[in-house]
Copies of this chain bind each other. A is one copy, B any other.
Amino acid sequence: MSDRASGDDSMIIVMSSDASDHDVAHVVERLRGIGAEAHISRGQTRTVIGAIGERAQIQQLPWEAFPGVERAVPVLKPYKFVSRDHHSDDTIVDVGGVPIGGRYLTVIAGPCAVESREQLFAAAMAVHSAGANILRGDVFKPRTSPYTFQGLGEKGLELLAEARQQFGMPFHAEVVDPRDVELVSSYADMIRIGARNMANFALLAEAGRQDKPVMLKRGLTATIEEWLNAAEYIYKEGNHQIVLCERGIRTFETQTRNTLDISAVPVVRALSHLPVIVDPSHSGGRRNLVAPLARAAVGVGAHGLLIDVHPSPETALVDGPQAILPVEFAALMDEVRAVAAALGLDLPPGRPR
C-alpha cells in the first residue's frame, strides 16, 4: 500500500488569450483557498497555471466554468487504487482455485445463456474436455429487445452448481440487477458485470460488497479511463478481486458486431495491475472470427479468453451467430496452446480445488 493515493496532485489550467489579470488572480485565489499551490507561467499569448494540492479538492472544482479559463488538464488519473502507480505488481485473481493474471493464460468457456440441463451439460463437458478452466453460463440476460428470452434465473444457477460439481470446474455468471447480486454471488465463483451495465454505479457498488471476484466488461462506448474508473468503484467498496474484460467498442464499422479494441490490452496492462482478458465471441459477433481473434488476444498479451461455446448454435436462444461448436473450440484450444507456448505463457494447472 502506498500513501500516494491520498497524496498530492496537479492540474494544469490554461487561460484563454483574452483572460484578464483579474481572471488569473481569481483562479489563483481559489486554489489557495483550498490549500493548493499555484505556479504561474506567462507566455506571449497564454498564461498557464500549474496547481499542486489534494487530488479530490482540485478535481472537484469546475475550473472550466471560471471566467477566462480555456481548459483544465488533469495531470493525474481520476482513479487511484486500480492504478499501477498504487500497486506495481500484477494482481492474480483466484476464481474457485483457478488463477487469472500474471503469466497465466486462463480460458473461460461455455454457453452464453443457460437454456436447459441438456444444453448446459453438453457444453460443459465439451469445454472441460478441451481444456477450459472456468465455465460460463448466464441466467439473467440484458436484452436490447423486451421480446426475447430473458434467462432462467435461480433455476439456472442450480444447474451451473451441479455442472461445477460434475466437471470440477468453477463457474461465473452475469448480474444485471443490484437486487440479484447476493443471489448470484452465493452460487457463482465469480460474478460478471456486463458491458451494458459498466456504468451502472448501483450495481458496481453492490458487486464491490461481495466476497467473490468480479469480472468487469468494458462498456461498448467506454473509454479505457472510464472502465478503470468503474473498476475503482468496485475496489473502493472493498472487493479487490477484479478481472477486466475487453469485448469490443462501438464504431462506424458494421462488418463486425463491435470493434475489438485489441490495443486496450497492452494499454490496460501498463496503466493497471488488474488482469485483463478478451471476449472474442461478443466482439466479433460471428462464428468464423472467434478463432482468429482468440489467437490475436493471446498474441497481444491478454490474461485469458472468454468464449461462447454451444452444442447447437442454431437452436441457441441468445447470440447463436457467434457461438462456436465443441469441435471448433477444441481446434481453437490447440492453436491457443501453441501460441501461448511460443510466448512462454502457462495455462493454469490441471484441476481446481
**A residues neighboring B (CB under 8 Å):** 4, 7-10, 12, 14, 17, 30, 39, 41, 43-46, 48, 50, 52, 55-56, 59-66, 73, 75-76, 78-80, 85, 142-149, 176-179, 196-197, 199-203, 219-221, 223-226, 229-230, 232-233, 236, 249-256, 259-267, 270, 283-284, 286-289, 292-293, 295-301, 313-314, 316-317, 319-321, 323, 335, 338-339, 341-343
Residue from A9, A10, A219 having most chain B Cβ neighbours under 10 A: A10
> Given A4-B45, A43-B10, are A85 and B255 also a contact pair (CB < 8 Å)?
no
A299 — which chain B residues lie within 8 A by C-beta?
Answer: 292, 295-300, 339
The interface residues of chain B lying within 8 Å CB-to-CB of A43 are 8-10, 52, 75
**Given A252-B223, A263-B260, does the pair A199, B321 have CB atoms closer than 8 Å?**
no
Contact status A255-B232, CB under 8 Å? no
Q: Which residue of B lies closest to A16 (CB)?
A: B85
Query: Could you tell me if A76 and B45 are in contact, using CB atoms closer than 8 angstroms?
Result: yes
Total copies of the chain: 4
B residues near A263, Cβ cutoff 8 Å: 255-256, 259-260, 283-284, 289, 292-293
| Chain B residues, Cβ within 8 Å of A85 | 17, 45
CA distance A10 to B196 in the complex (A): 28
A35 to chain B: closest CB distance in Å? Answer: 14
Q: Is the CB of B44 within 8 A of A4?
A: yes
Residue of B nearest to A298 (CB): B299
Taking a contact as CB atoms under 8 Å apart, the answer to whether B144 and A226 are in contact is yes
Q: How far is the CA of A178 from the CA of B145 in the complex (A)?
A: 19
**In the bound complex, do residue B179 and residue A178 qualify as a contact, i.e. CB atoms below 8 Å apart?**
yes
A253 surroundings in chain B (CB, below 8 A): 223-224, 249, 261, 264
Q: Which of B52, B55, B145, B250 contacts A78 (CB 8 A)?
A: B145
- Indicate if the CB atoms of A266 and B288 lie closer than 8 Å: yes
User: Shortest Cβ distance from A20 into chain B, in angstroms?
Assistant: 15
Distance from A193 Cβ to chain B, minimum over Cβ atoms (Å): 11
How near does chain B come to A212, taking the closest CB pair, in angstroms?
A: 20
Q: What residue in chain B is nearest A200 (Cβ atoms)?
A: B200
Q: Which residue of B lies closest to A285 (CB)?
A: B64
- The CA of A251 and the CA of B288, in the complex, are separated in Å by 24
Residues from chain B with Cβ under 8 Å of A66 in the complex: 314
A225, A292, A319 — which one has the most chain B CB atoms within 10 A of its CB?
Answer: A292
How far apart are A255's CB and chain B's nearest CB, in angstroms?
Answer: 5
Pairs across A and B, CB under 8 Å, 30 listed:
A8-B44, A8-B45, A9-B44, A12-B73, A14-B75, A17-B85, A41-B50, A41-B52, A43-B52, A48-B50, A59-B145, A62-B319, A63-B321, A64-B286, A65-B323, A144-B230, A178-B179, A224-B255, A250-B252, A253-B264, A255-B264, A256-B267, A259-B263, A260-B262, A266-B288, A292-B299, A295-B299, A295-B300, A296-B296, A296-B297
